[in-house]
């Protein structure tokens, strides 16, 4: 064989080996990059759809959103009336302290006060902002039902039994609580009169 034939054969082998190496590299990278993508169940949990009409008046239900517990409360007219008259007891009555306690839909004083798009339906993350415990729902005002676990001037809301944090019926933290902030709100929209999509 001539030197020219050897050279073209060698060039062909270089190109073929390089091409196969490139294919092998891509074949190795594709599953590796795919493993960094969120799993299908994670993507499905990014948004939660819920029918708020299934929550009876005065009732609280807990649902899941992105692996977190979420309170959905159907507040009666009586419970909504308990939102007023105790702003002096609250650390952050207008939910302005940090981003996690406010959302773009909180665009009116009423939505900030009720912390809801529709005043009767409160939707908040069910984790105390102190250490993440789940607070107990104690909606009626005063101590009659709750005893010494709440103060005498209890406006109704949540009590975290772990370290004593207190939140009013709009999930706003009460002065003297170890919790630094109101219960967190999340982005949500109504897709119908009663169907809410969280996330």
Given the residues 130, 163, 181, 184, the one annotated as active site:
163
End-to-end CA distance of the chain: 71
- The whole-angstrom separation of Cα 113 and Cα 172 is 9
Cβ neighbours around 56 below 10 Å, total: 10
Q: Does the active-site annotation cover 184? A: no
Which of the residues are catalytic?
163
């Amino acid at each position: 064989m001539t030197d020219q034939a050897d050279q073209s054969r060698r060039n062909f082998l270089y190109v073929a080996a390089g091409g196969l190496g490139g294919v092998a590299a891509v074949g190795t990278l594709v599953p590796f990059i795919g493993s960094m993508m969120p799993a299908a169940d994670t993507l499905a949990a990014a948004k939660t759809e819920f029918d708020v009409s299934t929550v009876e008046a005065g009732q609280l239900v807990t649902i899941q959103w992105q692996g977190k517990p979420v309170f959905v409360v159907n507040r009666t007219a009586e419970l909504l009336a308990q939102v007023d008259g105790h702003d002096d007891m609250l650390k952050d009555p207008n939910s302005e302290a940090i981003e996690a306690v406010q959302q773009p839909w909180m665009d009116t004083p009423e939505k900030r006060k009720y912390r809801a798009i529709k005043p009767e339906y409160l939707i908040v993350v069910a984790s105390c902002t102190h250490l993440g415990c789940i607070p107990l729902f104690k909606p009626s005002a005063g101590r009659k039902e709750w005893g010494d676990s709440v103060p005498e001037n209890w406006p109704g809301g949540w009590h975290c039994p772990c370290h004593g944090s207190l939140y009013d019926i709009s999930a706003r933290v009460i002065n003297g609580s170890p919790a630094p902030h109101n219960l967190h709100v999340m982005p949500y929209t109504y897709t119908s009169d009663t169907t809410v999509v969280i996330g």
